[in-house]
């Protein structure tokens, strides 16, 4: 891949990841949190299921149960926590806390999978967790919003571990489509039963829902998987630190969010930790079997 194309695609996909926090916070003006994220991923899941309909589907009920479990953690757990956190903390803070998940994967991978990580990765994890402590204001008096932000990171880490364990059973696009559909459906049901549903239908709310479903979900996933497939997955994943950067930047530009100096300081350490953790990953097998076509 041409270096310029790589840089452009990395910037686009991480911008879509990070800016979705800000767009989602704007969406909360029109739609209740769980309903908004439920609509986002149900629509995205349905569209992706149509796109991958010719791909081989799982034949066993147990495999569908595995996809459902991944969707429960990777989509319902992560996105539910994110959108609920956005009610009380800034889009920038939520994105920074959520993207600590690579640091948690190191710990969980060691404890539950027996993976042996390099010293540089452990240094990255320590630096990143120090960044979390600083981001929270040098104290551990957690608010509901910060707890939900950390909950999103924990749920994402569990989802990552499950994909490491079960992902090879499935076509990567089929797994992506149906875990989003299952997770979105769970969130939709929760949005209709566990909160007071609120939906203001106008051009702005419709545009936000479609942007989150298509651009920030389907397009973002497609570009990210393409980059992982065409290049070194470890080095590509190192650029995840750009996503919370765009979360903070768009929150400042679109919402006039004021971010305290210690959030920037902690965020810088978290970005450094994520970079160290991901940059040292060994090259993974090609995902070419998962291309849409």
Residue-wise pLDDT tens digits, 46-90: 999 999 999 999 999 999 999 999 999 999 999 999 999 999 888
Tokens (6 digits) for 21: 């926090």
Domain that holds residue 123: 3-290
pLDDT higher than 70, residue 33: yes
Neighbours of 152 (CB within 10 A): 26
pLDDT tens-digit map of 162-205? 988 898 899 999 999 999 999 999 999 999 999 999 999 999 99
What's the chain's average pLDDT? 87
pLDDT of residue 237: 75
Task: State how many domains the chain has.
Answer: 1
Cβ(151)–Cβ(84) below 8 Å: no
**What's the pTM?**
0.85
Give yes or no for residue 283 having a pLDDT over 60.
Answer: no
């Amino acid at each position: 891949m041409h270096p310029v194309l790589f840089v452009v695609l990395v910037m686009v996909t991480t911008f879509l990841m990070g800016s979705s926090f800000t767009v989602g916070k704007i969406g909360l003006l029109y739609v209740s949190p769980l309903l908004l994220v439920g609509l986002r991923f149900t629509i995205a899941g349905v569209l992706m299921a149509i796109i991958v309909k010719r791909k081989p589907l799982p034949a066993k009920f147990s495999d569908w149960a595995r996809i459902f479990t991944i969707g429960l953690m990777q989509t319902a757990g992560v996105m539910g926590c994110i959108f609920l956190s956005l009610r009380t903390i800034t889009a920038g803070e939520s994105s920074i806390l959520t993207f600590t998940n690579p640091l948690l994967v190191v710990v969980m991978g060691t404890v539950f999978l027996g993976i042996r990580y390099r010293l540089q990765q452990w240094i990255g994890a320590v630096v990143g967790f120090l960044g979390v402590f600083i981001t929270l204001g040098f104290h551990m008096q957690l608010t509901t919003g910060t707890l939900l932000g950390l909950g999103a990171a924990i749920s994402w880490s569990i989802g990552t571990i499950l994909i490491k364990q079960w992902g090879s059973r499935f076509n990567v696009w089929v797994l992506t489509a149906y875990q989003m559909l299952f997770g979105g459906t769970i969130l939709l049901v929760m949005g209709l039963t566990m909160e007071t549903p609120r939906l203001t239908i106008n051009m702005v709310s419709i545009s936000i829902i479609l942007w989150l479903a298509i651009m920030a979900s389907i397009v973002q996933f497609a570009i990210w998987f393409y980059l992982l497939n065409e290049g070194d997955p470890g080095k590509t994943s190192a650029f995840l630190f750009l996503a919370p950067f765009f979360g903070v930047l768009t929150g400042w530009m679109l919402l006039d969010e004021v971010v305290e100096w210690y959030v920037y300081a902690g965020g810088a350490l978290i970005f450094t930790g994520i970079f160290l953790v991901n940059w040292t990953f060994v090259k993974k097998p090609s995902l070419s079997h998962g291309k849409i076509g």
